[in-house]
Amino acid sequence: MRTNLSLLLLLAILMALVPSVLQGGYFVNVAIVVCIYVVLAASLDLVMGWTGMYSFAHAAFLGVGAYTAAILGRDLGTSFWINLPAGTLVAGLFGLLLGLPSLRAQGHFLAIMTIAFQTVVYLILAQWTDFTGGQYGISIDPIEGFGSLSAYFYLVLGVTVVALIVIRLLTGSRFGDALRAVRDDETLARTIGMNTNAIKLIAFAISSSLAGAAGVLSAYHIRGVTPDDYTVMTSASIVTMVVLGGRGRFWGPILGAALLVLLPELLSGLADYKHIFFGALLIAVIIVAPQGLAGTLAQRRAK
Amino acid sequence: MTAPIVETEALTKAFQGMVALDAFDFSVGQGEIVGLIGPNGSGKSTVVNLLTGVLAPTAGRIRVDGRDVTGAPAHEIARLGVARTFQMIRLFSSLTVEENVVLALQQQSGAGYVSSFLQSREARERRLAARAEARETLKLFEMDIHAEKLATDLSIGQQRMVELARGLATRPRLFILDEPAAGLSPVNVDRLITMIRRMRDEFGVTVLLVEHVMRVVQSVCDRVVVLDYGEKIADGAPNVVVEDPKVIEAYIGLGRAADA
Res. A296 pLDDT band, cuts 50 70 90: confident
Q: Interior CA angle at B81 toward B80 and B83, to 5°?
A: 130
| ipTM value | 0.88
Is the CB of B95 less than 8 angstroms away from the CB of A169?
no
Tell me which of A191, A199, A202, A291 to substitute to probe the interface with B (most B C-beta atoms closer than 10 Å): A191
Is the CB of A194 less than 8 angstroms away from the CB of B86?
no
Q: For chain B, give the percent of residues with pLDDT over 90.
A: 58
DSSP, residue by residue, B181-193: TTT--HHHHHHHH
pLDDT, position A1: 62
Q: What order do you get walking across the sheet with B67-68 strand by strand?
A: B18-29, B4-15, B59-64, B67-68
pLDDT, position A269: 75
Is the CB of B84 less than 8 angstroms away from the CB of A187?
no
Nearest CB partner across the interface for A184, out of B94, B110, B119: B94
Interface check B162 vs A, CB under 8 A: no
pLDDT, position B252: 72
Is the CB of B90 less than 8 angstroms away from the CB of A169?
no
Res. B80 pLDDT band, cuts 50 70 90: very high
pLDDT, position B234: 86
List of residues 6+ apart from B239 with CB closer than 8 A: B218
Q: State the Cα–Cα distance between residues A95 and B224, nearest whole angstrom.
A: 50
Distances (CA, A) of A59 to A158, A208, B135, B233: 22, 9, 45, 59
Question: What are the tens digits of pLDDT across the range A85-134?
Answer: 999 999 999 999 999 988 888 889 999 999 999 999 999 999 999 999 88
pLDDT, position B116: 86
Taking the alpha carbons of B216, B222, B227, B230 in that order, is the dihedral positive or negative?
Answer: negative
Q: For chain B, give the percent of residues with pLDDT over 70.
A: 96
User: Does position A143 have pLDDT exceeding 80, yes or no?
Assistant: yes
Nearest chain B Cα to A1, which residue?
A: B119
pLDDT, position B171: 87
The total of other beta-carbon atoms located within 10 Å of residue B60's CB is 18
Taking the CA atoms of chain B, what radius of gyration do you get in angstroms? 19
Using a CB-CB distance cutoff of 8 angstroms, which residues of chain B are in contact with residue A183? 94
pLDDT, position B167: 92
Q: Please state, rounded to an integer, the average pLDDT across all residues of chain A.
A: 91
Interface check B72 vs A, CB under 8 A: no
Q: How far is B159 from chain A (nearest CA, A)?
A: 14
Question: What are the tens digits of pLDDT across the range A235-249?
Answer: 999 999 999 999 999
Count A/B contacts: CB-CB distance under 8 Å. Answer: 80
Is the CB of B73 less than 8 angstroms away from the CB of A195?
yes
User: Does position B258 have pLDDT exceeding 60, yes or no?
Assistant: no
Mean pLDDT of A199-204: 95
Res. B259 pLDDT band, cuts 50 70 90: very low
pTM of the model: 0.89
Contact A23, A56 (CB under 8 A): no
Is the CB of B94 less than 8 angstroms away from the CB of A190?
no
Nearest CB partner across the interface for B92, out of A173, A185, A193: A185
pLDDT, position B256: 47
User: Does position B254 have pLDDT exceeding 70, yes or no?
Assistant: no
User: Does position B260 have pLDDT exceeding 50, yes or no?
Assistant: no
Contact A122, A231 (CB under 8 A): yes
Using a CB-CB distance cutoff of 8 angstroms, which residues of chain B are in contact with residue A191? 52, 54, 74-75, 78, 83-84, 90
User: Does position B204 have pLDDT exceeding 50, yes or no?
Assistant: yes
Domains of chain B: 4-81+172-259 (3.40.50.300)
Q: State the Cα–Cα distance between residues A98 and A120, nearest whole angstrom.
A: 12
Q: How far is A81 from chain B (nearest CA, A)?
A: 25
Question: What are the tens digits of pLDDT across the range A31-47?
Answer: 999 999 999 999 999 99
Contact A141, A79 (CB under 8 A): no
Using a CB-CB distance cutoff of 8 angstroms, which residues of chain B are in contact with residue A170? 117
User: Does position A266 have pLDDT exceeding 70, yes or no?
Assistant: yes
Q: State the Cα–Cα distance between residues A109 and A115, nearest whole angstrom.
A: 10
Taking phi first (over 0 means left), then psi (-120 to 50 degrees means alpha), and beta for anything else, what does residue A267 get? Answer: beta
Is the CB of B117 less than 8 angstroms away from the CB of A193?
no
Nearest CB partner across the interface for B117, out of A173, A187, A196: A173
pLDDT, position B257: 45
- Total residues found in chain B within this entry: 260
Is the CB of A191 less than 8 angstroms away from the CB of B94?
no
pLDDT, position A100: 92
